[in-house]
């Protein structure tokens, strides 16, 4: 006998009030009639699926279960009263336009909502001093936007901390539904906005669609754009491999995104089958010494005549900060590990008198600006649909996510307080080691 | 208080015997040391994650939990005694070569297994009367095979029922590890082979890697090649849409794979954003009458001037069989729903005097022969690694799968006895309806 | 001493009258100042470049030289009086939207023409009984159309013979500039229209942009969309090769476009490197006998175990017509050589008791609807620019072409009266033979 | 009456001696029999096709005509005595493997030459001190190499000046046929090698296949890999455009290849339709002043909110050298115009107090390492075939080129002494201006 252990997260979903209005969408309420159905608020899925053979029976509280996303039979907002606003924040990510398109179309066609405003250039677009007009969104405007990269609304970083000014604008616009598409900072901003809305006693739904090309947000099984990013990055590694392979002692060095987590680097290594070393923020490595990267790189060259190294931008930061990165005022500067490694590798091989050909590739914008690949695009459209359903039914302070392959509502609070990292003991990292044949550790302890 | 309900499947994994040999792969046995770890046999994951808010506490038996895949600390086979055989069966599917490559490399590099035979052209390659030599597999041979479509081993349909002859050959070859990559029929064949092996008292591990481009096998969250297939199919729908859009009353009709399930059709509709009607085996539809497809198609043309229809090959079979498909001897012929629909649509619009331009596309082989897209390729390599680990540790009669995002061992028996179908009440089908705006039902009852 | 032989074509270009209005575009008139220049009417290029070492000196008439296309210093039409019409006819071809976009943008931005009408669905759009409104074209409308396949104007076949009705409409619309984008039939129609215009004493410029995905028009070095078509077709041949290679005695049979000429088939064979037999309309072949296709195919299978056959749709018509293709009324039906070959190959191998696996692919619409590849897209935009310049300077009854890598004006009369065919004695066909290793001839004489 | 003016180039082709051996390839010698034919040495094409309407009759010398490439009826080398060597030099370029493959296959299958050595890592591979073994080339080795980028032989820069050492090695290897695939420096090296061979009285054919991704060699209508490079570069410009379009005052800056010529930059601008400014080495521009780039860029941002700038790496060098690029010893350093422009643009807008978002992309290796696109691949295979034919018939000191769409032999001497540049008065540059709407000049004189 064994049990499934409860976990601590509290997945309770906030609502603006009781949903009383019959949905204009006709679905079935009968289970088993083979007709598409509404989703009930009490349909849940388990978050934690780990178990072991021995164990005890265990009970659950509703707070430990995730609420399923989807269209409700009763909705909170009357469609004719809705003024929805959509905003995209932060760096570009494949699929932004797909999400905008899906929200707009679901609201318009399924619910009959005809006032949808695109707020331009991120949270900046809410600030009165910027004086940026909104963009009217409707099915005609969004019809083909999934075929282009970037975001038709424009984006920018920052501004999310000016909560009061933003809520002032939201009030002035009579917006009662805000869709915030963005990463950790954006969702923190959305939470502050929702809390300020609550303080003012307003009935405005705030729904997040989490955007994290690095996949570093928790409770998000798969971040939109991630697969496209890996596919694009794989092409870059292939370029690096071709260059390395065509030169005497060729070294291809590719810097990929991943400030805090190495998911893109790890997946790209697996997808390309051509990387020999993958360096990520979660796994410490040293350059020098018998078990350091440089020595292993040298051995690899001696063995095969070429090598490919992938480095996530957040990897090995501690190697640089010590000596290289304090500026005149003593501030910590952002360390570019790619350029740093390029220099270190070059001088190491110079020092030991081994001639190498290093080619360094930093594809950042090429990846970020890509059009979403088909399976990413379909994922985005499903996220967008569910975001529209959530807002219409009066949910708030949640993001839309997929967990254990089910679309669910996750409280923003949960998402912004728990980071997602590559676990060096996970099967993912193990498969990276099996694919690259890199040493289990590259430190000299 | 609520509980997670137990389900009935029995996920107990068979083994050839006790694994006593220390693995040649060095992983950590310490949890929390941030070093990649072995997987223990008692690490499990929950299969059924559905819950609702009300409920009771519930206990589990080990048989209701899925065993995690991965490298074990102790293995069953001595690497130097291993002779592995790999066979690919049935229709082509993107990723076959990626799986072959991963199994070969994992056995070779991680375990030091140096006798790996590729059995050619499916189970036919085991039959002595075919007299087809095997292909020696090693890292050099498989190095670049993931860059080409199809299978380097060749494939064929059938032959899997000649169990005795196959096991005779396996015995003759001294194979003690068989990897069978194929669909439902192939896995049924593998199970028979494994049972015959058992009857003969042999110690041969039989591991399946499930291949189902249609995604119609159960306990398989994601079938390899499926994403690539959807991406390719999306391109075809885009062609159909372009043709339809450029003609007066243009109709683009695309037949996609899916004999028994409409997963490719449904996902492709979502990914392309350009389909207006999706017809799948799981959802009955009628052609005639006020709520039939033809009437709805007519309305769509009147409204928009063009339309795109996706039909899965197994859809609407009952429409044809009645009158069209009994041959001279009274046998049931295979009904080509694509050609049938093309004819029905054409004659309907001729009858009502409406001029239409129908373009019919059947991309079958173009999809099947595609090279695996990067994220599919990485998935294949992880399936292959886990298959190699499973065999080395003496597991048998299982397939490698991913369930709730964890790689697991699933008894072949479970997989071949439960089909996977699009649930018309699922969020997938609902999202198809939201994307296409097709009627909830197209029958006249 | 030798000379270049004159050829007979008469390349004299028609004009509506003297171009007297200064162009609103500022270019240089000074040669050698390193600033982009106008083109003069007397700038010409030689058409026939063939020579041999022995020969005589020879003189040329202006009619034997091609007039260069490009912006003139003086134009015929006052931009504010221009009403331009653009029409696209016949089957789809990659690049149609690129041409429409370039004409529109060049007229609008360079000349200040603001009345541009897109005539919808080919010549049908001119017929009053069809009652199809035109589409207003301007830079906003055309901005992104090059990113999608097909034609935003729609297209259709036929209608071009209703010359009087079309010119009536042109008069009624006050159109004084017609751009006809289409193939042989379309250009014949354009010529009739221009002649009728002349008869009526109207001053309307008729400019053709030749569209021939098959590349079967003369005096057109490179037809737009052709490279994209070859690239797409190459993908299909790769699919066929993958299927053939993965089966026992696999045969991949691909039917490609080419009613009268085998350019796509020949180029695709060269680009794919995977075809073993290429069958085109220009080279007769037999099926039976010791030097027939079937015997050679058998030998190829015996040697290599698989084979790929490319057949242009117009190849081998004489094989079929005899017995298979006369319908009840004795009319000649269109022979589908692909389906015919599939049948013949299958029954041949059945007859000789050799088991083969034939996979037949007919990718037609997938090729026609493709988005223009980058180098095709740039070619289209240059064709469109030159078409706009030609019309503004009062040229008429010409098409825009590239000959010997120079954009030129070619009288429509010349183009429609001379077909372009693959010369079996050319270096192109020789390279096909060197690539495929197919026999020099496949007849039994 | 007019004439075609003779030009001065001397296209006389060198041969090792009289070709007396009947070719093992069977082609027709009869013109008009519709069977692929040999090419005769006296088949020529005209190089200069420019003409104008007035003129005089003119006679030609054979030296002013280009000799056609292709298989000869009589060959110089007995296939069984041939030892061919292939070398690839300089930076990577799409299509290198395609050329290697075609030469190898043509020699092997058409002529029966079975000794073909791949010299590794450029001319370095000939130097005894490097001690790099050659790679045996045959159809099996080269079968799939066109599917990967780079060069299977490896490449390197330099070494071509060590003529004597190289010819020593060639003699030692008994090589009698050298194929040198590379750019200007490589062909200069090949010429020196051929001259040294001549001095030593050896009978060794030296054939060049010109590789210039920048398209900056004369008498080469189209350099292989160029179209692929433009296609790849177009993707990068699209990324820059997406980034620019998604930001407030976004500027996308892309540096493309082109040390001495702006062909890639110009073609990419035309193909992408998204560039607003194109800066190339051949057209001088200033940064400051009322007609400088910065002022125009500012106006563009004020008008449209975003801008895309393409800069060829050799553009604007004179802007930098003055102050920025003399190092400690007073030497001229290589000026990186991309990084320089990025800095200048950023500080300009900072100075005038206008907030912009500049994204800089330098895709170099991604372009160079690309797999040849289908139409490039077919071009490479035809170049390779013709190179093999040329060598077999005893031609030497020539490169294979396509001029006026005909494959020809051009003396290496001609190619290395005449550079190819974008003519600012050409239709190409004019079309760039029409596409970008950039000012005709950006200097303040």
Q: What is the pLDDT of residue A214?
A: 87
> Is B57 a residue whose pLDDT tops 70?
no
Distance from CA of A248 to the nearest CA of B (A): 20
- Residues whose CB is less than 8 angstroms from the CB of residue C1 and which lie 6 or more positions away in sequence, other chains included: C55, C56, C57, D59, D60, D61
- D46 contacts C4? CB cut-off 8 A: yes
Q: What is the pLDDT of residue C5?
A: 41
- A144 contacts C148? CB cut-off 8 A: yes
Q: How many CB atoms lie within 10 A of CB B333?
A: 11
> Is D113 a residue whose pLDDT tops 90?
yes
In this prediction, the answer to ipTM > 0.90 reads: yes
> Is C231 a residue whose pLDDT tops 90?
yes
Q: What is the pLDDT of residue C329?
A: 47
Chain C residues with CB-CB distance to B368 below 8 A: 239, 243
Chain C residues with CB-CB distance to B149 below 8 A: 238-239, 242
Q: What is the pLDDT of residue A210?
A: 96
Q: What is the pLDDT of residue B59?
A: 65
Q: For the residues C136-162, what does the mean pLDDT come to?
A: 93
Q: How many CB atoms lie within 10 A of CB B291?
A: 16
Catalytically annotated residue among C98, C184, C214, C216: C214
Q: What is the pLDDT of residue D62?
A: 79
Cα–Cα distance, B230 to B353 (Å, whole number)? 36
Q: What is the pLDDT of residue C59?
A: 65
In terms of DSSP H, where are the helices of A369-421? 374-392, 412-417
Chain A residues with CB-CB distance to D365 below 8 A: 239-240, 243, 359, 361
> Is B3 a residue whose pLDDT tops 80?
no
Closest CA to D422 of D311, D262, D307, D277: D262
Contact D96, D150 (CB under 8 A): yes
Q: What is the pLDDT of residue A335?
A: 73
> Is D193 a residue whose pLDDT tops 60?
yes
Contact A96, A384 (CB under 8 A): no
**Sign of CA pseudo-dihedral C46, C94, C263, D212:** positive
Closest CA to A106 of A382, A396, A410: A382
**Token digits for C260?**
């009268």
Q: For the residues C357-373, what does the mean pLDDT come to?
A: 95
Q: How many CB atoms lie within 10 A of CB A51?
A: 23
Q: What is the pLDDT of residue B327?
A: 47
- Residues whose CB is less than 8 angstroms from the CB of residue A374 and which lie 6 or more positions away in sequence, other chains included: B227, B230, B231, B234, B268, B271, B272
Residue C327: pLDDT band (50, 70, 90) is: very low
Closest CA to B92 of B182, B206, B193, B32: B182
* pLDDT tens per residue across span B117-136: 999 999 999 999 999 999 99
Cα–Cα distance, D100 to D182 (Å, whole number)? 12
Query: How do A21-22 and A74-75 pair as beta strands?
Result: antiparallel
Among the partner-chain residues D49, D57, D62, the one whose CB lies closest to the CB of C59 is D57
- C61 contacts D51? CB cut-off 8 A: no
> Is A364 a residue whose pLDDT tops 90?
no
More confident residue, C213 or B192: B192
**Token digits for C141?**
């409308």
Contact D389, D69 (CB under 8 A): yes
Q: What is the pLDDT of residue C62?
A: 79
Residue of D nearest to A236 (CA): D366
Catalytically annotated residue among D214, D216, D260, D376: D214
> Is D328 a residue whose pLDDT tops 50?
no
Q: What is the pLDDT of residue C3?
A: 40
A/C interface, count of CB pairs below 8 Å: 6
Residue D436: C-alpha distances to residues C102, D208, D258, D278, D342 (Å): 12, 37, 19, 8, 20
**Catalytic residue flag (residue B214):** yes
Catalytically annotated residue among B98, B214, B216, B260: B214
More confident residue, A61 or A405: A405
Distance from CA of B245 to the nearest CA of C (A): 7
| Chain mean pLDDT for chain D | 92
Percent of chain A residues topping a pLDDT of 90:
84
Cα–Cα distance, B133 to B147 (Å, whole number)? 24
Catalytically annotated residue among A33, A42, A52, A214: A214
Cα–Cα distance, A420 to A217 (Å, whole number)? 5
* pLDDT tens per residue across span C32-57: 899 999 999 999 998 888 887 765 45
More confident residue, D60 or B129: B129
Closest CA to D251 of D356, D361, D159: D356
Among the partner-chain residues D154, D235, D368, the one whose CB lies closest to the CB of A248 is D154
Closest CA to D348 of D296, D312, D313, D304: D296
Closest CA to B155 of B117, B193, B182, B192: B182
Q: For the residues B315-338, what does the mean pLDDT come to?
A: 68
Q: For the residues C198-223, what does the mean pLDDT come to?
A: 94
Distance from CA of C189 to the nearest CA of A (A): 34
Cα–Cα distance, B228 to B95 (Å, whole number)? 9
- B238 contacts C365? CB cut-off 8 A: no
Q: For the residues D396-420, what does the mean pLDDT come to?
A: 94
Distance from CA of C154 to the nearest CA of B (A): 4
Q: What is the pLDDT of residue C58?
A: 54
The region of weakest confidence among A229-243, B252-266, B294-308, D321-335 is D321-335
Cα–Cα distance, A324 to A320 (Å, whole number)? 6
Chains in touch with A (3+ beta-carbon pairs under 8 Å) read B, C, D
Q: What is the pLDDT of residue B158?
A: 83
- C247 contacts B121? CB cut-off 8 A: yes
Q: What is the pLDDT of residue A298?
A: 98
Q: What is the pLDDT of residue C433?
A: 95
Paired strand residues for B406: B403
Percent of chain C residues topping a pLDDT of 90:
84
Residue B53: pLDDT band (50, 70, 90) is: confident
**Which phi-psi region, left, alpha or beta, contains residue D34 (left: φ > 0; alpha: ψ -120 to 50)?**
left
Cα–Cα distance, B126 to D170 (Å, whole number)? 51
- D148 contacts B148? CB cut-off 8 A: no
Q: What is the 3-state secondary structure (H, E, C) of B394-427?
A: CEECEEEEEECCEEEEEEHHHHHCCECCCCCCCH
Chain A residues with CB-CB distance to B52 below 8 A: 42-44
- C147 contacts A148? CB cut-off 8 A: yes
Q: For the residues A65-88, what does the mean pLDDT come to?
A: 97
Residue A6: pLDDT band (50, 70, 90) is: very low
**Among C143, C146, C147, the residue to mutate for chain A (most A Cβ within 10 A):** C147
Contact D398, D14 (CB under 8 A): yes
- pTM confidence score: 0.94
Distance from CA of A313 to the nearest CA of D (A): 17
> Is A330 a residue whose pLDDT tops 50?
no
**Which phi-psi region, left, alpha or beta, contains residue C353 (left: φ > 0; alpha: ψ -120 to 50)?**
left
* pLDDT tens per residue across span C159-191: 888 999 999 999 999 999 999 999 999 999 999
Cα–Cα distance, A158 to A130 (Å, whole number)? 13
Q: What is the pLDDT of residue D9?
A: 80
b/e map D49-65, b = 16+ CB within 10 Å: bebebebeebebebebb
Residue A69: C-alpha distances to residues A83, A87, B54 (Å): 21, 21, 18
Q: What's the DSSP call for residue A66?
A: E
Q: What is the pLDDT of residue D59?
A: 65
Q: What is the pLDDT of residue D73?
A: 97
Residue of A nearest to C148 (CA): A147
Closest CA to C149 of C232, C215, C240, C87: C232
Q: What is the pLDDT of residue D6?
A: 43
Closest CA to A99 of A114, A82, A87, A84: A87
- B147 contacts D148? CB cut-off 8 A: yes
> Is C323 a residue whose pLDDT tops 80?
no
Residue of B nearest to D148 (CA): B147
Q: What's the DSSP call for residue D333?
A: P
Distance from CA of A108 to the nearest CA of C (A): 24
> Is C86 a residue whose pLDDT tops 60?
yes
Q: What is the pLDDT of residue A327?
A: 46
Residue of C nearest to D233 (CA): C374
């Amino acid at each position: 006998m064994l049990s499934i252990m409860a976990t601590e997260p509290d997945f309770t979903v906030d609502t603006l009030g009781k949903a009383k209005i019959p949905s204009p969408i006709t679905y079935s309420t009968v289970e088993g009639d083979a007709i598409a159905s509404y989703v009930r608020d009490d349909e849940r899925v388990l978050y934690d699926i780990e178990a072991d053979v021995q164990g005890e029976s265990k009970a659950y509280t509703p707070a430990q279960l995730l609420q399923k996303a989807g269209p409700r039979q009763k909705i909170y907002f009357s469609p004719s009263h809705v003024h929805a606003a959509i905003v995209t924040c932060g760096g570009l990510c494949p699929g932004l336009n797909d999400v905008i398109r899906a929200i707009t179309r679901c609201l318009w066609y399924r619910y009959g909502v005809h006032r949808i405003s695109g707020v331009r250039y991120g949270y900046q677009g809410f600030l009165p001093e910027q004086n940026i007009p909104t963009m009217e969104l409707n099915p005609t405007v969004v019809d083909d936007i999934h075929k282009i990269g970037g975001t038709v609304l424009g984006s920018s970083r920052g501004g999310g901390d000016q909560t009061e000014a933003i809520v002032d604008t939201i009030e002035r616009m009579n917006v009662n539904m805000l869709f915030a598409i963005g990463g950790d900072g954006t969702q923190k901003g959305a939470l502050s906005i929702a809390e300020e809305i609550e303080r003012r006693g307003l009935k405005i739904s705030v729904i997040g669609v989490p955007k994290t090309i690095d996949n570093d947000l928790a409770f998000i099984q798969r971040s939109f754009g991630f697969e496209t990013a890996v596919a694009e990055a794989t092409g870059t590694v292939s370029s690096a491999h071709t260059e390395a392979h065509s030169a005497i002692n060729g070294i291809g060095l590719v810097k990929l995104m991943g400030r805090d987590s190495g998911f893109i680097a790890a997946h790209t290594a697996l997808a390309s089958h051509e990387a020999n070393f993958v360096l990520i923020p979660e796994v410490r490595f040293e350059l020098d010494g018998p078990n350091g990267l440089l020595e292993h790189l040298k051995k690899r060259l001696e063995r095969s005549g070429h090598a490919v190294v992938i480095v996530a931008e957040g990897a090995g930061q501690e190697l640089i900060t010590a000596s290289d990165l304090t500026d005149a005022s003593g501030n910590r500067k952002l360390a570019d590990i790619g350029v740093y490694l390029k220099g270190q590798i070059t001088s190491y091989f110079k020092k030991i008198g081994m001639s190498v050909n290093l080619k360094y590739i930093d594809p950042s914008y090429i990846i970020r600006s890509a059009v979403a690949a088909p399976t990413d695009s379909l994922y985005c459209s499903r996220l967008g649909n569910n975001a529209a359903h959530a807002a219409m039914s009066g949910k708030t302070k949640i993001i839309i996510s997929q967990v254990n392959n089910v679309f669910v509502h996750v409280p923003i609070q949960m998402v912004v307080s728990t980071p997602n990292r590559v676990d060096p003991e996970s099967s993912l990292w193990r498969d990276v080691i099996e694919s690259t044949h890199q040493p289990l550790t590259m430190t000299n302890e």
